[in-house]
Amino acid sequence: MSEKKKTQKDILLKVWSYIKRYRILVLLSIVFAGIVVALTLYLPILIGEAIDYIVEPGKVDFDIIKGILVKSAVIAVFTAVLQWIMNNFNNKITYHVIADIRKDVFERLQILPLKYMDGHPVGDVVSRVITDADQFADGLLMGFSQLFTGVVTILGTLIFMLSIHPGITLVVVCLTPLSLVVANYIAKNTFSLFKEQSVTRGEQTAYIDEMIGNQKIVQAFSRETISLEVFDETNERLEKCSLKAIFFSSLTNPCTRFINSLVYAGVALSGAVVAVNGGGITIGGLSCFLSYAKQYTKPFNEISSVVTELQNAIACAGRIFELLEETPQVKEPENAVVMGEAEGKIYFEDVSFSYVPEQKLIRNLNLTVNPGQKIAIVGPTGCGKTTLINLLMRFYDVTKGAIKVDGNDIRDITRKSLRKNYGMVLQETWLKEGTVFENIAMGNPEATMEDVIRAAKEAHAHGFIKRLPQGYDTYLTEDGGSLSQGQKQLICIARIMLILPPMLILDEATSSIDTRTEMKIQEAFGKLMKGRVSFIVAHRLSTIRDADVILVMKDGNIIEQGNHEQLLLKKGFYYDLYYSQ
């Protein structure tokens, strides 16, 4: 528990570091809130006073009443203005804190090692950046302001009530907590009903997901009637438990309202009794008391919900700070080399690597690649083909040994200049939201339309792009919208055809393209890559027969090495692999 308290305190301190920038606004907001609450509570007293001067015919003091009413109108306007300014301050603080935090998180994401991205589901990180940031700022700032005004209101009401009549105040103070007790009791007892509802609802959603999501199959097998029957069964069950959960939880409001009306009646009774006995309460005072009695319970109900909200906000903040405090990738050395156009001589010197220490993947790998060579990497799934690419691009750093390009250890080269020397196409295509043109021109913002069309033609993508509604200006939504996987791969290839880097990496880059088009693209690459280095990971062995060197990998090791003919003659692992496909 104390451990938990400590982390909560830690988190709040970090939160403060973000709010600190707006501390003047925060201070003003608190002061304004205090004034607003005090004035809001003062107004009924004024009205009560005015009522006291309206006794009976002939006993109405118009001058005093006029003075009081003008005063109350002025106070109302003043309060309203303060309230509006305060609201704007609160909005400004909230939205700017969200923006600041998101900006920091996003910048942190740009320098986190790939290991983090690979180890965390995208949805999880996105929800930290978006939902958690929102909930945290909303919950924390709104929560605090509600908590603050709530407490001030309660205290203020108490003071005002005491100043009018301590005895009647006692009635209010004793009766009000009842509504909290009732609300709590109902919440506790409906919890299990809600849980049952959410379990049943989850079950129904899963079924909808399956049957509506695969509606085509359902229809192909004429399963419509059966699946409707199953659906109806859960639907009936959900109806029953939903009814229970909704009904019992909806008891809260009427019940607390009932307690409030008891308080109200209690005030009316005790006030009247006091007044009848001449105990020093005026009619105006009583009416003012009655309106307080109505207001007094509200902040109590609010505060109890604010506390849960605050807990939630702190949890959200915790998740964001966790992300903000992830260790970034290793810093580049001060004197890192900015590599120009590479020649393409690559050495793997005694390289070892593993994603997790317990599981060695690549062990003592030595390899020399000469300019102009085409290197193919083959092997069964999980043998480390993609790992090799992660190392070449320096998405991950080697655990032992070194990779050198043109004589420089890649850890001594700036990441940017190293990566710019590679053109990379992955099996998992990625298109940015934007036009086809922008997507192809990604590597070279200065490219002209002619350049882009030329690249698209080389990639055999021009044909289908031409047929898109707006050709190269067609706007692609997230992840390529309606394009097929094959078409997306062609655009990614066109992207590389545009920049023609000295070194090329194709990781299953043509897996979704039919073999005939694939061959044509290979030819185009062959022409373009003369004198340059290319690494090709392929599943279909037929596409890599003409590679200069084929690396056969198994369990992280290169077990065979040579060209197609040499490897077949060896009758080793490659031979088996080739004929098993």
Partner 1 sequence: MGKLLHFLKGYEKESILGPLFKLLEATLELFVPLIVASLIDVGIANRDLNYVIKMFVFLVVLGIVGLSFSLTAQFFAAKAAVGFVKKIKHALFKHMEELSYTEIDRLGTSAMVNRMTSDMNQVQSGMNMSLRLLLRSPFVVAGAFIMAWVIDGQAAKIFGITILALTVIVYGIMLITIPLYRKVQQKLDGVLAATRENLVGVRVIRAFGLEEEEKKDFADKHRELTAGQKFVGSISALTNPLTYVVVNIGIAVLIWQGAIQVEHGILTQGAVVALYNYMTQILEELVKLANMIVLLTKMVASGNRIQNVLDMESSQEFPEETLTASRKEMPHVVFENVGLRYAGAAEESLSDLSFEVEKGQVVGIIGGTGSGKTSLVNMIPRFYDAAYGAVYVDGINVKDYKKEEIRKKVGMVPQKAVLFKGTIKENIRWGNPDATEEEIWQALRIAQAEEIVLGKENKLDFVIAQNGRNLSGGQRQRLTIARALVRKPEILILDDSASALDYATDAKLRKALQEMEDKPTVFIVSQRTVSIQHADRILVLDDGRPVGMGTHEELLKTCEIYQEIYASQFKKEVSGS
Binding-site member from 25, 38, 125, 173 for partner 1 (CB under 8 A):
125
Query: If we measure between CA atoms, which residue out of 557, 519, 513 comes closest to residue 380?
Result: 557
Q: Figure out which of the listed residues 55, 170, 181, 199 binds partner 1, where binding follows CB under 8 A.
A: 55
CB 503 within 8 A of CB 422: yes
Looking at beta carbons only, is 151 or 243 nearer to partner 1? 243
Q: Which is nearer to partner 1, 12 or 228 (CB)?
A: 228
Query: How many Cβ atoms are within 10 Å of 49's Cβ, its own excluded?
Result: 18
**From CA 539, how far away is CA 543, in angstroms rounded?**
9
* 178 forms part of the interface with partner 1 (CB under 8 A): no
Comparison of 358 and 565: residue with beta carbon closer to partner 1: 565
- Can you tell me the distance from the alpha carbon of 127 to that of 337, in angstroms, rounded to the nearest whole number? 38
Query: Per DSSP, which regions of 294-413 are E strands?
Result: 346-353, 362-369, 374-378, 400-405, 408-409
Report DSSP state, residue 54. Answer: B
Asked if 80 is part of the footprint of partner 1 (rule: CB under 8 A), the reply reads yes
Min CB(450)–partner 1 separation in Å: 21
Query: Which residue among 87, 301, 304, 511 contacts partner 1 (CB under 8 A)?
Result: 87
**273 counts as binding partner 1 under rule CB under 8 A:** yes
Among positions 528-567, residues that touch partner 1 (CB under 8 A) are 541-542, 545
- Among 12, 27, 31, 126, the residue binding partner 1 under the rule CB under 8 A is 126
Single-letter amino acid code for the residue at 525: F
Determine the size of the site formed for partner 1 (CB under 8 A): 140
Q: Which of 8/287 has CB closer to partner 1?
A: 287
Tokens linked to 340: 């120009």
- Between helix 252-276 and helix 166-175 the angle, nearest 10°, is 160
Interface with partner 1 in residues 485-524 (CB under 8 A): 486-487, 512-519
| Paired sense of beta strands 557-562 and 549-554, if any | antiparallel
Tokens of 523: 């030819």
CB distance 160 to 292 below 8 Å = yes
* Residue 404: count of CB within 10 angstroms of its CB: 17
| Residues 422-441: x where in contact with partner 1 by CB under 8 A, - otherwise, as a string | x-x-x---x-xx--------
25 binds partner 1 (CB under 8 A): no
As measured in angstroms, the least distance from the Cβ of 364 to partner 1 is 26
Contact between 311 and partner 1 (CB under 8 A)? no
Q: In the range 219-248, which residues lie near partner 1 by CB under 8 A?
A: 219-224, 226-228, 231-232, 235-236, 238-239, 242-243, 246-247
What is the closest distance, in whole angstroms, from the C-beta atom of residue 1 to partner 1 in the complex? 35
Residues 342-371 that bind partner 1 (CB under 8 A): none
Told to check if 184 binds partner 1 by CB under 8 A, we report no
The residues that bridge with 337 in the sheet, in sequence order, are: 413
Exactly one of 167, 194, 287, 402 binds partner 1 (CB under 8 A); that residue is 287
CA 398-400-401 angle, 5° bins: 95
Told to check if 571 binds partner 1 by CB under 8 A, we report no
Torsion of CA 561, 566, 571, 573, to 10 degrees: 20
Task: CB nearer to partner 1: give 1 or 220.
Answer: 220
**What is the C-alpha separation between 571 and 360, in angstroms, rounded?**
28
Applying CB under 8 A, the span of 4-12, 14-22, 97-105, 160-168 interacting with partner 1 comes to: 97-105
Residue 180, interface with partner 1 (CB under 8 A)? Answer: no
The least CB distance from residue 393 to partner 1, in Å, is: 6
Minimum CB separation from partner 1 for residue 4, in Å? 30
Distance between CA 522 and CA 542 in Å, rounded?
12
Which residues between 384 and 413 bind partner 1 (CB under 8 A)?
393, 395
Between CA 225 and CA 528 the distance in angstroms is 58
Helix, strand, coil percentages for the chain (3-state, nearest 5): 65, 10, 20
Among 12, 27, 60, 330, binds partner 1 (CB under 8 A): 60
- Which of 26, 37, 286, 452 contacts partner 1 by CB under 8 A? 286
Distance of alpha carbon 81 from alpha carbon 59, whole angstroms: 36
Strand-pairing partners, residue 54, are: 60
Three-state SS at 337: strand
Binding segment (CB under 8 A) for partner 1, from list 50-58, 160-168, 301-309, 524-532 = 50-58
212 near partner 1, rule: CB under 8 A: yes
Minimum Å distance from CB 517 to partner 1?
6
